[in-house]
Structure 1
Amino acid sequence: MENLIQYFPGYDIRKNVRLADYTNTRVGGPADWAFWPKTIAQVKTVIEELHASDRALPITVLGNASNLIITDDGLRGLVIFLTDLAEIQVVEQTITASAGAAIIDVARVAQQNGLTGLEWAAGIPGSVGGAVYMNAGAYGGQVDSVVSTIEVLTRTGEIKSITNADLAFAYRHSAVQETGDIILSATFALELGDKAAIDAMMEDFNTRRASKQPLEFPSCGSVFKRPVGYFAGKLIMDADLQGYTIGGAQVSTKHAGFIVNRGTASATDYIQVIRHVQQVVAEKYGVTLETEVRILGEQ
Structure 2
Amino acid sequence: MIDDKILNELPQIEILKDEPLAHYTNTKTGGPADLIAFPKNIAETQALVFFAKENELPLTIIGNASNLIVKDGGIRGLVIILTKLAEVKVENDLLFASAGASLIETTEIAYQHGLTGLEFAAGIPGSIGGAVFMNAGAYDGEIKDVLAKVKVLTPTGEIKEYSNEELEFGYRTSRLQTEHDIVLEAVFALKQGDKTAIRERMDELNFLRASKQPLEYPSCGSVFKRPVGHFTGKLIHDSGLQGFTIGGAQVSKKHAGFIVNIGAATATDYLAVIKHVQQVVFEKFGVKLETEVRIIGTDGK
TM-score bracket relative to the smaller structure = over 0.9
Partner of 1:263: 263
TM-score by length of 2: 0.97
2: distance between equivalents of 1:180 and 1:161? 14
- Contact residue 5 and residue 14 of structure 1 kept, 8 A: no
Check if 1:23 corresponds to 2:28.
no
The amino acid that maps onto 2:195 is K
The amino acid that maps onto 1:146 is V
The amino acid that maps onto 2:205 is F
2: distance between equivalents of 1:46 and 1:229? 44
How far did residue 297 of structure 1 move? 1.1
The alignment partner of 1:6 has SS state of helix
The amino acid that maps onto 1:48 is F
Partner of 1:66: 66
- Contact residue 214 and residue 254 of structure 1 kept, 8 A: yes
Partner of 2:246: 246
1: distance between equivalents of 2:48 and 2:172? 29
The amino acid that maps onto 1:222 is S
Check if 1:47 corresponds to 2:49.
yes
2: distance between equivalents of 1:24 and 1:281? 26
1: distance between equivalents of 2:180 and 2:241? 36
1: distance between equivalents of 2:79 and 2:264? 24
The amino acid that maps onto 1:50 is A
2: distance between equivalents of 1:39 and 1:166? 25
Partner of 1:126: 126
Q: Deviations over 1:177-213 (max 9, x none)?
A: 0110010010000011111111110000000011000
Check if 1:38 corresponds to 2:44.
no
The alignment partner of 1:69 has SS state of strand
- Contact residue 85 and residue 99 of structure 1 kept, 8 A: yes
Alignment of 1:119-158 (within 5 A): 119-158=119-158
Q: Percent identity?
A: 59
Q: Deviations over 1:117-170 (max 9, x none)?
A: 000110001000000000000000000000000000011111011100100000
How far did residue 10 of structure 1 move? 2.2
Check if 1:172 corresponds to 2:172.
yes
2: distance between equivalents of 1:162 and 1:188? 13
Q: Deviations over 1:14-54 (max 9, x none)?
A: 11111000000000000000000011101111212321x2x
The alignment partner of 2:174 has SS state of coil
The alignment partner of 1:105 has SS state of helix
1: distance between equivalents of 2:98 and 2:48? 18
The alignment partner of 1:46 has SS state of helix
How far did residue 244 of structure 1 move? 0.1
- Contact residue 69 and residue 295 of structure 1 kept, 8 A: yes
Partner of 2:189: 189
- Contact residue 20 and residue 29 of structure 1 kept, 8 A: yes
- Contact residue 52 and residue 59 of structure 2 kept, 8 A: no
The amino acid that maps onto 1:100 is G
The amino acid that maps onto 1:19 is L
Partner of 2:102: 102
The alignment partner of 1:157 has SS state of coil
Alignment of 1:208-223 (within 5 A): 208-223=208-223
1: distance between equivalents of 2:13 and 2:111? 35
Unaligned segments of structure 1, at least 5 residues: none
2: distance between equivalents of 1:229 and 1:164? 27
- Contact residue 52 and residue 58 of structure 2 kept, 8 A: no
1: distance between equivalents of 2:249 and 2:63? 23
- Contact residue 29 and residue 72 of structure 1 kept, 8 A: yes
1: distance between equivalents of 2:51 and 2:228? 44
The amino acid that maps onto 2:29 is V
TM-score by length of 1: 0.98
Check if 1:13 corresponds to 2:25.
no
- Contact residue 3 and residue 35 of structure 2 kept, 8 A: no
Q: How many residues align?
A: 297
